[in-house]
Amino acid sequence: MGAYLLRRIALLVPTLFGIILINFVVVQFAPGGPVEQMLAELRGQGGSAIGRLSGESQGETRAPQQGGGGSGPVGSYRGARGMDPAVVAEIEKAFGFDKPAYVRFTEMLKGYLTFDFGESLFQGRKVIDLLLEKLPVSVSLGLWSTLIIYLVSIPLGIRKAVRDGTRFDAWTSGVVLVGYAVPGFLFAILLVVLFAGGSFLQIFPLRGLTSSGSADWPFWQRALDYAWHMVLPTVSLVIGGFAGLTMLTKNSFLEEIGKQYVLTARAKGADEGRVLYGHIFRNAMLLIIAGFPAAFISILFTGALLVEIVFSLDGLGLLGFEAAIRRDYPVMFGTLYIFTLLGLVMQIVGDLTYTLIDPRIDFEARR
Q: What is the DSSP string of 213-226?
A: TGGGS-HHHHHHHH
For residues 352 and 344, what is the distance between their CA atoms, to the nearest angstrom? 13
pTM of the entire predicted model:
0.71
For residues 187 and 179, what is the distance between their CA atoms, to the nearest angstrom? 9
For residues 344 and 349, what is the distance between their CA atoms, to the nearest angstrom? 9
How is residue 119 annotated by DSSP?
B
End-to-end CA gap in the chain = 14
Q: Which pLDDT does position 32 carry in this prediction?
A: 66
Q: Which residues pair with 119 in a beta bridge?
A: 126
Q: Which pLDDT does position 75 carry in this prediction?
A: 40
Helix-helix angle 127-162:329-357, to 10 degrees: 40
pLDDT in tens, 177-224: 887 787 777 888 888 888 877 677 778 887 777 787 787 888 888 888
- φ, ψ at 228 (rounded to 5°): -65, -40
For residues 76 and 35, what is the distance between their CA atoms, to the nearest angstrom? 11
Q: Which pLDDT does position 52 carry in this prediction?
A: 46
Largest CA-CA distance found in the chain, in angstroms, rounded: 90
pLDDT in tens, 159-188: 898 888 899 989 988 888 887 787 777 888
Contact by Cβ (8 Å): 315, 141: yes
For residues 77 and 346, what is the distance between their CA atoms, to the nearest angstrom? 41
CA 83 to chain centre: 40
Does the pLDDT at position 354 exceed 80? no
For residues 317 and 309, what is the distance between their CA atoms, to the nearest angstrom? 8
**How many percent of the chain have pLDDT more than 90?**
1
Q: What is the CATH number of domain 128-365?
A: 1.10.3720.10
Contact by Cβ (8 Å): 246, 156: yes
Contact by Cβ (8 Å): 143, 137: no
Higher-confidence position of 62 and 32: 32
pLDDT in tens, 144-160: 888 888 888 888 988 89
Q: Which pLDDT does position 310 carry in this prediction?
A: 81
Residue 57 amino acid letter: S
- Number of other residues whose CB lies within 10 A of the CB of residue 191: 20
Q: Which pLDDT does position 359 carry in this prediction?
A: 67
Of the ranges 34-38, 62-66, 165-169, 338-342, which one carries the lowest mean pLDDT score? 62-66
Cβ-Cβ contacts under 8 Å for 318 (sequence gap 6 or more) = 134, 305, 308, 309
Contact by Cβ (8 Å): 96, 63: yes
Q: Which residues pair with 202 in a beta bridge?
A: 196
For residues 219 and 215, what is the distance between their CA atoms, to the nearest angstrom? 9
For residues 320 and 196, what is the distance between their CA atoms, to the nearest angstrom? 26
Q: Which pLDDT does position 1 carry in this prediction?
A: 65
Domain definitions of the chain by residue range: 2-126, 128-365
Residue 8 amino acid letter: R
- Identify which of 43, 56, 76 has the alpha carbon closest to the alpha carbon of residue 121: 56
Residue 53 banded pLDDT, cuts 50, 70, 90: very low
Task: Provide the mean pLDDT of the chain.
Answer: 77
Q: Which pLDDT does position 45 carry in this prediction?
A: 54
Half-sphere exposure of 234 (CA within 13 A, CB side): 22
> Mean pLDDT, to the nearest integer, of 231-246?
82
For residues 61 and 75, what is the distance between their CA atoms, to the nearest angstrom? 23
Residue 364 banded pLDDT, cuts 50, 70, 90: low
Report helix, strand or coil for 68: coil
Contact by Cβ (8 Å): 12, 337: no
Burial class from Cβ neighbours inside 10 Å (0-12, 13-18, 19+) for residue 237 reads buried
pLDDT in tens, 275-325: 887 778 877 777 777 777 777 777 766 656 778 888 878 788 778 888 888
